[in-house]
Structure 1
Amino acid sequence: MAGSDARPEGFDRSLELSPEQIEAGRLLFAGPCDFFHGAQQLEQLPAPDEPEVAFAGRSNVGKSSLLNAVTGRKALARASSEPGRTKQLNFFNLAERLVLVDMPGYGFAKAAKAVKEDWQEMMFSYLRGRPNLRRVILLLDSRIETKASDQEVMDLFDRAAINFQVVLTKCDSVKPRAEEARYHSVVEEIGRHPAAHPVVIATSSQTGRGIPELRAELAGFAQP
């Protein structure tokens, strides 16, 4: 039934994390997490002192909800009913060990061509020139096919030689067989991108599914 977390046997076996890794993720995200900087231009970026993990995705993919879920906060990243409202890079300090970066959403239909080009130029410059950026978490909606704008962003990651990992969102809204098909199509798709991490994580901000695994993955980049 829709909204069920039941999955066909053999689905998503590629993500195998130890109890110790899961606990390390839980402990990291149990610490304080606070907004400390916003940048609309490259010269406004904070000093690259801590390791960073950035979150990217199309407008309305559920990025704000996922950031709130993974950090255990209700309003760390504020969702908006207006696609593309976030226009800057927002930086959050997690327990003085890891910085989470909320990137502006892309793919919003109402944006002028010049705005889209400015977004791509700034994001590419940030990705290519940020020495402490460890990974980009690319969110894809589990309910719909990969869009052209998603493909363009994956190509951008390849050109910038930045490792990215796909996280499927809103999996509580998809029937198990449809989710399995979507999952395998994404795995096949990222196999064509040299910058892609091979493990795809299926998540739901509503049920909490996949959140411990995502935390464990991110904890691997945190300072001791």
Structure 2
Amino acid sequence: MAFPAGLAEAKDEAARAALIEAGRLLFAAEARFVAAARTLDQLPPPGLPEVAFAGRSNVGKSSLLNALTGRRGLARVSATPGRTRELVFFDLASRLLLVDMPGYGYAEVAKSVREAWEGTMFAYLRGRPSLRRVVLLIDARVGFKPADEAAMRVLDEAAVAYQIALTKADKVKPAVLEAMRRRAETVARGHTAAHPLVLATSAETGAGIAELRAELASLARA
């Protein structure tokens, strides 16, 4: 699968710096809430390019969105896994839509409700024409779980491009984090729709945030 030019394709430090700056400028712009949808008929009409953030419950999706935009309260953060129950859309500078997705794989959510969330989520992933990439978040402390592997299979089958980002990188020692990043790169190479570049991020320290902004800026409307 072909991917837009990003950090992995940067030929030198000047090109890399230009990508980082483009990401900084985009994410410094206004971000505003657009819509929240529990069912497909509540989705906003397709238009701007979209980037969706997916991962297990409590992996840090909302925290990462807040860190990317520099707005602490943009996405609601909850300490209770399974609290986010909607696809939540944010407009970034009228150039890109950021989508906070319900977490998957949380066993304590009632089975019928969990299946409804996942049905809507996967239907959105399969059928959204404006979706340019999914950022698949993996907790650096625990690595890949069966629910993550199932999500990657769905994305592969739907030919939806996705990029793995490790979260909570500040919670593990550097050697452990590097081993996890290399493991994630190996996993990515085994999936047809996965981007080869894996980023390690921390919403607390800002690690990896500039790089992820740069990657996503390459998908935004010019």
Asked if the contact 2:37–2:88 (Cα under 8 Å) also holds between the matched residues in 1, the reply is yes
Find out whether 1:28 has 2:26 as its counterpart: yes
Find out whether 1:70 has 2:71 as its counterpart: no
Asked if the contact 1:70–1:215 (Cα under 8 Å) also holds between the matched residues in 2, the reply is yes
Q: 1:97 to 1:53 in 2, by over 3 A?
A: same
Over aligned residues, Cα RMSD in angstroms?
1.4
Between the aligned partners of 2:157 and 2:221, the Cα distance in structure 1 is 27
The structure 2 residue matched to 1:126, chosen from 102, 124, 127, is 124
Q: Deviations over 1:108-158 (max 9, x none)?
A: 120233333222321221111111100000000111131111111111111
Q: 1:55 to 1:69 in 2, by over 3 A?
A: same
Find out whether 1:141 has 2:110 as its counterpart: no
Name the counterpart of 1:9: none
Find out whether 1:117 has 2:115 as its counterpart: yes
Name the counterpart of 2:103: 105
Name the counterpart of 2:16: 18
Q: Which residue type is aligned with residue 71 of structure 2?
A: R
Count of matched residue pairs? 212
The structure 1 residue matched to 2:152, chosen from 130, 151, 154, is 154
Between the aligned partners of 2:28 and 2:192, the Cα distance in structure 1 is 33
Matches for 1:78-89 after TM superposition, within 5 Å: 78-89=76-87
Q: Which residue type is aligned with residue 23 of structure 2?
A: G
Name the counterpart of 1:95: 93
Asked if the contact 1:124–1:160 (Cα under 8 Å) also holds between the matched residues in 2, the reply is no
- SS for the counterpart of 1:55 is strand
Structure with the larger helix share? 2
Between the aligned partners of 2:116 and 2:159, the Cα distance in structure 1 is 20
1:189: how far off?
1.2
Q: 1:38 to 1:15 in 2, by over 3 A?
A: same
Name the counterpart of 2:42: 44
- SS for the counterpart of 1:18 is helix
Between the aligned partners of 1:89 and 1:173, the Cα distance in structure 2 is 28
Which ranges in structure 2 are unaligned for 5 or more consecutive residues?
1-6
Between the aligned partners of 2:84 and 2:142, the Cα distance in structure 1 is 22
Asked if the contact 1:15–1:201 (Cα under 8 Å) also holds between the matched residues in 2, the reply is no
Q: 1:185 to 1:15 in 2, by over 3 A?
A: farther
Between the aligned partners of 1:64 and 1:169, the Cα distance in structure 2 is 11
Asked if the contact 2:23–2:214 (Cα under 8 Å) also holds between the matched residues in 1, the reply is yes
Which ranges in structure 1 are unaligned for 5 or more consecutive residues?
1-12
- SS for the counterpart of 2:88 is strand
Between the aligned partners of 2:188 and 2:173, the Cα distance in structure 1 is 22
1:18: how far off?
1.3
Q: Which residue type is aligned with residue 207 of structure 2?
A: R
Asked if the contact 2:85–2:102 (Cα under 8 Å) also holds between the matched residues in 1, the reply is yes
Between the aligned partners of 2:210 and 2:155, the Cα distance in structure 1 is 25
Between the aligned partners of 1:105 and 1:130, the Cα distance in structure 2 is 18
Q: 1:15 to 1:178 in 2, by over 3 A?
A: farther
Between the aligned partners of 1:63 and 1:185, the Cα distance in structure 2 is 21
Asked if the contact 1:162–1:195 (Cα under 8 Å) also holds between the matched residues in 2, the reply is yes
Q: Deviations over 1:141-180 (max 9, x none)?
A: 1111311111111111112110000000111111111111
